[in-house]
Amino acid sequence: MLRDEKNGDSTTYVSLNAAGVACVLAVSSDTGARIVHWGADTGARTPAELQQLDLSVAPPLATNGVDERVIASILPEGRTGWTGAPGIAGHRLDGGAWTPYLVPTALRVDERADGTTVIVDAADLENGLAVRLDVEMDAAGVMRLRAELTNTGETPYALDALELALPVPTLADDILDFAGRWANERTPQRQDFVVGSHVREGRHGRTGADAATVLSVGARDFSFDSGEIWSMHVGFSGNHRVAAERTFDGTRLLRGGELLLPGEIVLAAGESYESPWVYAVHGVGLDAVAARFHTHLRARAAHPTSARPVVMNVWEAVYFNHDLDEITQLADLAAEAGVERFVLDDGWFGARRDDTAGLGDWVIADDVWGDGRFGRLVDHVNGLGMEFGLWFEPEMVNLDSDLARAHPEWLLQAPGRIPVPARNQQVLDLTHPGAYAHVRDQISALVRGYGIGFIKWDHNRDLVDAGSTRTGRAGVHAQTLAVYRLLAELRETFPALEIESCSSGGARVDLGILQHTDRVWASDCIDAHERQQIQRWTAQLIPLELIGSHVGEERAHTTGRRLDLSFRAASAVFGHFGIEWDLRTASADELAELREWVAFYKNMRPLLHTGTLVRRDLEDGALWMQGVVSPELDRAIFAISLRDRPATWPAGSVRLPGLDATRTYRVSAAGPGALRTVDPRIVPAWWTEGLVLSGASLAAAGVQIPALQPDHTALLLVDEVRA
């Protein structure tokens, strides 16, 4: 313990350090738990060094504020003179206890080989509140924080917000986050970090296609490979809030947590509320930040370790037109192409012949799949050596369904009215024990009865007027936790079952849902031109092996754009590869080329799904480069795609970063058809024979690529030349 000579208060310092990142915590009774420094490792370790670091960054009293230094804690409190957003917002039902004064009572530090955890307990005896704060840093340098608030008083406490804050330095001048909509998720947007609050609220009851996803602030014009960056992600699949706040005195914070609806959390005596994990990552360049997130996810015990199977989903091939003979033909063509997982999408159950009926009735449709036809399809798919997968939308219900007619009280709704319909459906309240058991048991019966190995778990509407008929209160918080419980129970019952998070495409992509699922469907848009942007920025948070990425038809269903198979397939390779295409309409040449791409993906997936992602914008953003470098730095694959018509053409040399400068590598054209038709007018001199260069040369001088036309990709494979 160290003593603050100014006020006689004791201050304890703790430094969490990993992978070149440090977070220095100071815990004292006057300021609670606060962050002295979060960023590059300073090397300070001893109590004396940490105290000196604290003194070095303490602000002077230079503003027209209170007469003591105001330093925002992890849960900022108004009683200190802080006039920004508070960490805890709430009150007793009589209006009391609205301004907490939390005093730390205990501090525990757990240092392990895989990281460090600091737990701070604090209490406000006068207002009857207690807080437990968890701060973790793993071996990748990823921090995550959460808080648990307990009502230790005798009367109910209404909680409006519990949000955690992390300071960032004044050099953080730029903000980057994401906008989006259906079929155009994770569209980047940048702006200045001006005075005030840049607040991103998700009120969809799910993560949302327009979610900020990762909120990053950093040095002016930071890019993929340059500029110091601080990023935050709220790992929750319901309503949430993340913000970048800059106050009048120069303080800059990132803060985030769950967005609670009015009256949603009212704690009785002894009850607690636990916030979702808030993730915080520091790095130099966006690629470094992404690499930390990826390393963190890959270190999880439940992270998929088997080769990510080639998927075929039949949605865009047949939609609701289910027929055993036709889908059997698709399965035969899929197997010939090398598909390893065959997924039957919407339309197999109840009265589900279109999107107006049947949701909630998870039983085989007799008119389509009765008389054993469903079982015959499953057996046929398995007999071809493929795993069988099935689409569900377990959280939703059509009013035209046996379930809704039997249990209207199982629908989330505000008193006296049914929510506005969306895609002709409503939301099933999974906090009702009967509704929960209904969904669990019907899914379980099918998984067990047919040996289903994969579920595409969809979620196609926002939670509007989402109240519980049991409590009368807003129900998004409880619904989200119930979904997590259901997913966890199914995975415990069926350990081999894999689940994909789909939500109108990519509207539920977050680290909360990924604690319970094995991949995400990044978007319903399979147009490879659009998908390149969607996948590029989805990968800012999650690694390629968790991003479902399919080859669609020549003419994209969502945009009408026509693209060559080589571009569509090369784009899909950088993810968890699959096919969403009526292969009965493909030519013999297309089927042959598709087989080559499937084989290429299978050969590349050990590299793609374990390596480090690198990205660059070239030619004023018209040329995109993305690559994956193996952990051993002995192999890499790079995709260089021309997405627009630049002012000059052809493109110049492309540098290939991330390799070992001291090693020698062979660079060769890669991918099906790369050398099939070589036109000397559009390819560089080295294209057919390859190149041998040092890693330093590849990073500094690069290589000339073919004279690409828009929406075409050149793939390069880089292998170490060993003596």
Active site residue ranges: 458, 524
Structure tokens at 669: 């054209």
User: What is the b/e burial string over 226-257, where b = at least 16 CB atoms within 10 angstroms of the residue's CB?
Assistant: ebbbbbbbbbbbbbbbbbbbbbebebbbbbbb
What secondary structure does DSSP assign to 264-292, as a single string? SEEEPTT-EEEPPPEEEEEEESHHHHHHH
At a CB cut-off of 8 Å and minimum separation 6, what does 272 contact? 148, 149, 150, 151
Structure tokens at 89: 């917002």
Phi, psi (degrees; rounded to nearest 5) at 528: -65, -30
DSSP 8-state code for residue 110: E
Q: What's the CA gap between 528 and 551, in Å, rounded?
A: 8
For the CA atoms of 520, 524, 526, 529, the dihedral, rounded to the nearest 10 degrees, stands at: -90
CB-based contact 11:131 (threshold 8 Å): no
Contacts 24+ apart (CB under 8 A), 49-53: 50/13, 50/15, 50/24, 50/26, 51/2, 51/11, 51/13, 53/24
Phi, psi (degrees; rounded to nearest 5) at 684: -70, 165
Structure tokens at 627: 């690559």
Is residue 80 classed as helix, strand or coil in its secondary structure? Answer: helix
At a CB cut-off of 8 Å and minimum separation 6, what does 432 contact? 407, 409, 410, 468, 469, 470
CA distances from residue 513 to 110, 281, 399, 495, 610 in whole angstroms, order as listed: 27, 19, 27, 17, 21
- CB atoms < 10 A from the CB of 284, how many? 17
β-pairing verdict for 196-202 and 129-138: unpaired
What secondary structure does DSSP assign to 139-200, as a single string? TTS-EEEEEEEEE-SSS-EEEEEE-EEEEE-TT--EEEEEEEETTEEEEEEEEE--SEEEEE
Q: What's the CA gap between 716 and 714, in Å, rounded?
A: 7
Q: Is 626 exposed, middle or buried (0-12, 13-18, 19+ CB in 10 A)?
A: buried
Structure tokens at 522: 């990044």
Locus of tokens 């009256």: 263
At a CB cut-off of 8 Å and minimum separation 6, what does 657 contact? 225, 614, 616, 627, 699
Strands (E), 515-604: 519-521, 547-551, 576-579
Q: What is the CA radius of gyration of the chain?
A: 27
CB-based contact 174:217 (threshold 8 Å): yes
Q: Which helix (H) or strand (E) holds 635?
A: strand 635-642
